[in-house]
Structures are given as C-alpha cells and as structure tokens.
Amino acid sequence: MRTFYTILIGIILFLVILFISRILRGRFSPTLFFILFILIWFVAMSWNMYMGIQAGYAFKEEFLIFLLNFGIPSLLATYVIYKNKSSI
C-alpha cells in the first residue's frame, strides 16, 4: 500500500509542477519544469530506496520498488509533456 501512496504523491507533485508551469508560461519553458520534476522525483525516490536498504531490505528488492515509484510518475509526466508539447 505504501508503494501506491508513493506513486500517488509523485503524480500529485507532477500535477502541481504542471500547474505552476502553466501559471509561468511566458517566463519559462515547460521542458524546464519537466526536468525539475524528474530531478526532484529521482532524488526523493533514491532517498526512499536508501532508507529501505538501511531498514534491512536487499538492494534487489528496493530497486524493483524504486523502478515502480520513479518510473510510473515519470512515464506519465513524459507522456503528458510530449503529447501536449505545443499547447503547454
């Protein structure tokens, strides 16, 4: 269940960053906000994986969870950005 909530938080973070990018549309490129989201989410999920390893889980177990936690919101962000690239 924790993985589901982590993925949900990632999607919400992306939506917040997307909303901010639409507010600041004229000043900054949407691609900049996309890169910002990817960097923030990668660091957060790397820290999450590190904490799991410190708690006693194996790297292999944590890496699979990392791929889900990082991958799903990142793929969704990539899809939304490139699908709507001309309208964002």
Q: In whole angstroms, what is the distance from residue 71 CA to residue 41 CA?
A: 10
Structural domain boundaries in the chain: 2-83
pTM for this predicted structure: 0.88
How does pLDDT run across 20-69, given as a tens digit for each residue? 988 988 788 888 999 999 999 999 999 999 999 999 999 999 999 999 99
Dig out the tokens for 27 from the structure: 């000043």
Q: In whole angstroms, what is the distance from residue 6 CA to residue 82 CA?
A: 24
Long-range CB contacts (within 8 A, 24+) of 52-61 = none
How does pLDDT run across 69-83, given as a tens digit for each residue? 999 999 999 999 888
The neighbour count for residue 43, using CB atoms within 10 Å, is: 10
